[in-house]
Structure 1
Amino acid sequence: MAVDLSDGEESRQSARMGTRLAGKTALVTGAAAGIGRAVADRFAAEGARVAYADRDADGAVAAAGASGGRAVPMDVADEDSVAGGFAALAADGWVPDVVVVNAGVQLFGQDAEIADLDLDVWRRTHEVNLTGAFLTVKHAVRGMLTVGGGSIVLTGSPTAVRGEGAEFTAYASSKAGMHGLGRTVAAAYARRGIRVNTVVPPYTETGLVSTLTADPVARAAIVGRIPMGRAGTTDDLEGVMVFLASDESVFATGATFAVDGGMTTL
C-alpha cells in the first residue's frame, strides 16, 4: 500500500538514502532495537551491507530482514559468542570494516549511588557495557587488520563526561571506561589504518530508558538540562554515525563527538 508523505517528509527520507557507505561492511551491536537498529538501518540505506548483532536473536532476524541485512546472534559479554559472530561473517567474506559498539544495559531501580550499590549490579553493568565493548573492539580490530583498516564507533554517554550519572554509579563508570578504551585503541592502531571515535548521544527515548520516559518528573528534570529544550531521537544520531563510518572522516580518530543538544556544554 502506498504511503502518502508530506513534501518535507519525502525530502527527508530521500536525503537519507544514498551511497556514502557503498562498498562498506558494517556490524552494529545492539541492533535489534533503539539506537542500534536506527543506525544499522541508515547504514543499509547508505549502501553498506550490514550485520545486525544482538543477543536477542529473533529481534536481530526481524530487524535485518526488514533492511536486507544479516542477523548475527551475539552476546557481547561472552567472548566465544563475539568471536564466533565475527568468524561466521569472515567465513562468508563479510569482514566488517565498520563496527558500531552500541550494545548496553542500564539497570534502573538497581544502579545507585556508590554507598548503596550492590556488587552484582556493578558487575552485570560492566560486563555488558565495558567488557562487552572490549570484546567487540578486540575482535573488530583483529578483522580490520586483515583488510587494511576500518572505523570503529563507540556509543558513549553524557554520564561519562559530567555528573549526569550521580545515581547511576555502575552505568556512568562503565561508559567512562568505554570512552577511555576508545582513546587508547585509537592511539594504538592509528598507523595501521584503524580509526576509533566516540559519539555522545543525548538523553534518547528508546526502550533502554523507558523507566525515565514513563516518569514525567524525572523526564522533565533531564530534558530541562538540555539547552535545545527537547529529548533526543535516534534520527539525531544517524548522520554523525554515517560520517564516522564513511571515508569523509578519514582523519578523525580518538575524538569524542557530542550530539546531545548541548547537554555536555554546560
Structure 2
Amino acid sequence: MTRLHGKTALVTGGALGIGMAVAQRFAAEGARVILADRNGEGAARAAAAIGANARAVTMDISDESAVAAAFAEAEETGWAPDVVVANAGVQLFGQDAQIADLDLEVWKRTIDINLTGTFLTVKYAVRTMLKNGGGSIILTGSPTAVNGEGKDFTAYSSSKAGVHGLGRTVAAAYADRGIRVNTVQPAYTETPLVAAISEDPESRAAIVSRIPIGRAGTPDDVAGIMVYLASDDGSFATGATFQVDGGMTSL
C-alpha cells in the first residue's frame, strides 16, 4: 500500500480516536506523519507505535502561536506537510445544551477549539502549501452541521456548521493554486470523544437505531476516505462533503 508515498501529513487530534487511526493508515500507505495534539505525551506514544515515519508535536489548535510554531518547525526540519487533516475537536457532554440553557463559556470554549482551532490549522496549512506548490486539506465535519442530530448540542452543532462553511470557502479561494479542501462527515463514531454515549447502553442504542447500516462507526471507517482525499486519486475533488455515516443523513 503506497498511495501516499512521498507525501507528508499533519493530523490534529492525533493522540486518539479518528486522528490516530488516520495517522496510522497514512503511514501504512507510505506517508510521513506528524501527529499534533495538545496531549503531547499521547501523541508521542502514538507516533512511537507507528515508527520512524512518524513524529509528534504538542499543539493546542486554539492557540495561534502554538499552531504557527508547529508548522514552522515542520518546515524547518524538512517535514512541511502537503496533507493536513484538521480533525481535533471537543464535544462537551453535560455542558452543551439547547440554546435557552447554554452557558456562554461553554459556547466560547467549543467555538474556540472546534471552529477557531480549525480556522488556525487551515490558515497555516494554506500558508505552507502556497510555498510548496499546493496540497490537500481535509476537515472533520459532523451530521450535526446539516440536520437535527445536534438539537441538544447547540455549540457543537454550530461549530461544525462553521467548519463545513469554512471548507467550501477556502476550497473556492485556493483551487487555482493547487490547494484542495474537503470535509469528511462521519456519523456517530465510537471514540473517547463520545464516551458519554458509548458507555450508556440506552443512549447508544438510540443513536445506532438511526443509522441504516445498523452499527456505530469506527475510526477505521473514516480513514479510507481520507486516504483517497489525501492521495492523487482525489486530485479532482475539492469543496465537497463526503458522508461516511452509514446512511444516517440520507433519509
Which TM-score band applies after superposition, normalised by the shorter structure? over 0.9
TM-score normalised by L of structure 1: 0.93
The answer to whether the aligner puts 1:52 opposite 2:11 as a matched pair is: no
Identity %: 72
The higher relative CO (CA closer than 8 Å, separation ≥ 6) is in 2
Cα-to-partner distance string for 1:105-126 (whole Å, 9 max, x where unaligned): 0000000000000000000000
Q: CA deviation at 1:21?
A: 0.1
Q: CA deviation at 1:65?
A: 0.8
Q: In the alignment, what sits opposite 1:13?
A: none
CA distance in 1, matches of 2:219, 2:95: 26
CA distance in 1, matches of 2:180, 2:90: 25
TM-score normalised by L of structure 2: 0.99
Q: In the alignment, what sits opposite 2:48?
A: 65
CA distance in 1, matches of 2:90, 2:73: 25
CA distance in 1, matches of 2:41, 2:199: 26
Structure 1 runs not aligned, ≥5 long: 1-17
> Which residue, 138, 150, 157 being the options, matches 1:172?
157
> Which residue, 149, 152, 167 being the options, matches 2:134?
149
Q: In the alignment, what sits opposite 1:21?
A: 4
Structure 2 runs not aligned, ≥5 long: none
CA distance in 2, matches of 1:51, 1:217: 37
CA distance in 2, matches of 1:80, 1:133: 14
CA distance in 1, matches of 2:82, 2:200: 40
Cα-to-partner distance string for 1:193-215 (whole Å, 9 max, x where unaligned): 00000000120111000001111
Q: In the alignment, what sits opposite 1:34?
A: 17
Matches within 5 A, 1:102-181: 102-181=87-166
Matched residue count: 249
Q: In the alignment, what sits opposite 2:193?
A: 208
User: What's the secondary structure of 2:249's corresponding residue?
Assistant: helix
User: What's the secondary structure of 2:216's corresponding residue?
Assistant: coil
Please say which structure displays the higher CA radius of gyration: 1
CA distance in 2, matches of 1:191, 1:75: 30
Cα-to-partner distance string for 1:199-250 (whole Å, 9 max, x where unaligned): 0012011100000111111111100000001100111111100000000010
User: What's the secondary structure of 2:156's corresponding residue?
Assistant: helix
CA distance in 1, matches of 2:19, 2:2: 20
Letter aligned with residue 102 of structure 2:
L
Deviation above 6 Å: which 4+ runs of structure 1? Answer: none
Q: In the alignment, what sits opposite 1:15?
A: none
CA distance in 2, matches of 1:213, 1:252: 33
User: What's the secondary structure of 2:36's corresponding residue?
Assistant: strand
